[in-house]
Amino acid sequence: MTGSGELWCGAYRLALDRPRIMGILNVTPDSFSDGGRYLDADTALRHAAEMIEAGADIVDIGGESTRPGAAAVGEAEEMRRVLPVLRALAGKDIPLSVDTRRPAVMRAAIAEGASMINDVEALRAPGAIEALAGSDVAVCLMHMQGRPASMQRAPRYDDVVLEVAEFLLSRAQACLAAGIGGSRIVLDPGIGFGKTPAHNVALVRRLGELCRAGFPVLVGLSRKSLVATLSGRPTSDRLGGSIAGALAAVARGAAIVRVHDVAETAEALAVWRELGG
Ligand code: HH2
């Protein structure tokens, strides 16, 4: 366990003395809220630069949508989307994360300078742990019940918080056993990944139970359907609800929030902290 208040990601040491922002850069045609917007490398780079300027602490590059019902993307296509953007951003002085569940993409991303691997499958693919073990990059281990294609059909838990925590701790143990140090590990309950609105609400409300394990916790609920369920707004109009969700997660102990709207989230967090949040 860390307890050190620092996340080690490649050459970076990210102090976790204040909530950190992971800005989302989806280089996909079909992501649920921004699919197709940053597909060409120049637009992606411009958007990354804007997020960095606006206060992102990490940029998370994704080449495959994992929204409910999303079709899987081939390994070669995922690399074709992600690697040029990663290469072009390598000069920016900021940790770059790659959102992937494929060991070959992980290896290629690490070779291109990624500082973090964000895996919605928590390194369960054969060879995934090994892809990271010999490196110094950080890993975000996320919980998902089922697969993106079918995960929202009938999610079931006896106690969602206990089951998610148990799963994530077992994945963290597997990483530790493979030599991935505790200061490189982040846990994520996976809001919206095989969960009903009630499950998602319980996970945020009881986030402290996951934080107690001693690893930094990341929460991503930006623009997700949970926000719409709670606010009644369409995908294009979920900013206020997403910010409220990020603040609630941080208030419950989240160290990092994964968001689309970096400037607005940074502004909200700054005010919230000054007011004693
Ligand atoms: N959510 C999404 C994708 N990756 N990674 C982590 N660690 N946590 C999350 O909550 C998470 C994630 C889904 O959001 P988005 O990237 O905006 O959409 P899509 O998967 O459709 O590209």
How confident is the model at residue 67, as a pLDDT? 84
Reported confidence tier of residue 149, pLDDT bands at 50, 70, 90: confident
How confident is the model at residue 35, as a pLDDT? 81
Question: Residue 140: which residues within 8 A CB-CB, separation 6 or more?
Answer: 97, 116, 117, 118, 119, 186, 187, 188, 218
How confident is the model at residue 1, as a pLDDT? 37
Q: How far apart are CA 268 and CA 272, in angstroms?
A: 6
Pocket of ligand 1 (CB under 6 A): 24, 26, 28, 31-33, 62, 65-67, 99, 118, 120, 140, 142, 188, 190-191, 218, 220, 258
How confident is the model at residue 105, as a pLDDT? 98
- Quick: pLDDT tens for 160-195: 999 999 999 999 999 999 999 999 999 999 999 999
Contact status, residue 119 vs residue 138, Cβ threshold 8 Å? no
Contact status, residue 229 vs residue 184, Cβ threshold 8 Å? no
Give the residue whose CA is nearest to atom 2 of ligand 1.
66
**The one catalytic residue among 20, 101, 107, 258:** 258
Q: How far apart are CA 277 and CA 273, in angstroms?
A: 5
- Quick: pLDDT tens for 211-247: 999 999 999 999 999 999 999 988 789 999 999 999 9
- Quick: pLDDT tens for 115-139: 999 999 999 999 999 999 999 999 9
Nearest atom (ligand 1) to Cα of 142? 7
